[in-house]
Structure 1
Amino acid sequence: MMYRYGEGVEIDYKKSMDLYEKAANEGSEVAMYQLGYMYNQGIGTDVDFQQAKIWYEKSANLGYSDAQCNLGYIYQEGLGIEKNYEEAVKWYEKAIEQNESIAKSNLAEMYIFGHGLEADPQKALALYEDALNDAREIGDEEEISIVLFNIAEVYERGYGMEVDLEKAKALYEESAEYGLEEAKDRLDNLKNQIK
């Protein structure tokens, strides 16, 4: 990680990848995940979702929750592969067993739209609330703002349940207080609807 982040040394992504690969080949699930992430994001290499998937899958099979979550996302979005919602659900559920907050939000989105499972806005809200509690617990303001926004959107649009614009407005306001610009835009639009 020193070479990737320049901690006490000059940033050298090639060396970082070489060291991660060496550690990954020795069985380090963290190094496998880091390699997957570098390929996924194009850090020190071209974006290569196939390689990202390979390394995430190796790490995920060893139980590393970040890799399970990212692998689920690759399947959900069809990054470099065909979308496979069932696989996405499987990997998100494995990550959630280890309390992976982002996996909770991603699975909630799948419940909203019925991707790979029956649409269920109540289950989605429960997952979002759980993810929000996790974010509040660790003080992750960016994640708090995003999850609040997602919950507000459910109340604004309904997605199979009753629309509650007042509740949506309150949640967008809270999200905007954490600095999410998109929440400020939604709030302006919503205020015009509520008049």
Structure 2
Amino acid sequence: MRTNAFLEVADRYYDGSGTTADAQKSFVWYLKAAENGSAKAQYCVGLLYERGEGTAQDSREAVHWFKAAAENGYIDAFAELGQMYANDANLPRDDGKSIDYPMTRPSVRIMQPKTSFWQCGRETGRLPMS
């Protein structure tokens, strides 16, 4: 239950829903939820690391959290991993992984995210902070 509360606080700081939007505070709360196993939070932590929002930009940390989200069945994380392995100048290019990660594996339980593609926060239909 705590993980859901962490995620709710993170989403509110991310969107500014009921409070002032604060990328650093949203990162802290997404990280707490991610460390407690929330696939959505793991994905959002990956996005924030990838973009350097609320934390220092770090491609390797982004990959770590995208992998965790993918292993927990968060489908958008597979696509993000593929894009990073194909295009991120801070990672060794790996065409095998860039093709492999977008493919779903039968052993992975796919969870349909409640938010739209590339989405963190509570609102749908918009990209995360840019």
Same fold (TM over 0.5): yes
Tell me, what secondary structure is at the counterpart of 2:101? helix
Aligned to 2:46: 72
Aligned to 1:87: 61
Aligned to 2:3: 29
Checking the alignment, whether the CA contact within 8 Å between 1:104 and 1:127 is kept in structure 2 is yes
- Change beyond 3 A, Cα 1:128–1:81: same
Checking the alignment, whether the CA contact within 8 Å between 1:38 and 1:44 is kept in structure 2 is yes
Match of 1:126 among 86, 96, 100: 100
Match of 1:43 among 4, 7, 17: 17
Could you state the TM-score of these two structures normalised by the residue count of structure 1? 0.51
* 1:91-110 equivalent positions in 2, closer than 5 A: 91-110=65-84
Give the Cα–Cα distance (whole angstroms) in 2 for the partners of residues 116 and 100 of structure 1: 24
* 1:1-195 equivalent positions in 2, closer than 5 A: 28-130=2-104
- Structure 2: 5+ residue runs without aligned partners? 119-130
What's the offset of the Cα at 1:59?
Answer: 0.7
The structure where helix makes up a greater share of residues is: 1
Give the Cα–Cα distance (whole angstroms) in 2 for the partners of residues 115 and 43 of structure 1: 35
Could you state the TM-score of these two structures normalised by the residue count of structure 2? 0.74
What's the offset of the Cα at 1:107?
Answer: 1.3
- Structure 1: 5+ residue runs without aligned partners? 1-26, 147-195
Task: Output the amino acid matched with 1:67.
Answer: A
Give the Cα–Cα distance (whole angstroms) in 2 for the partners of residues 96 and 121 of structure 1: 18
Q: Please give the per-residue CA displacement for 1:60-84, whole angstroms capped at 9, x wherever unaligned.
A: 1111111111011100000122201
What's the offset of the Cα at 1:33?
Answer: 0.9
Task: Output the amino acid matched with 2:98.
Answer: A
Give the Cα–Cα distance (whole angstroms) in 2 for the partners of residues 128 and 103 of structure 1: 8
Flag the structure with larger Rg: 1
Give the Cα–Cα distance (whole angstroms) in 2 for the partners of residues 108 and 115 of structure 1: 13
Q: Please give the per-residue CA displacement for 1:78-134, whole angstroms capped at 9, x wherever unaligned.
A: 012220111111111111111111111111111111354321233222222329xx9
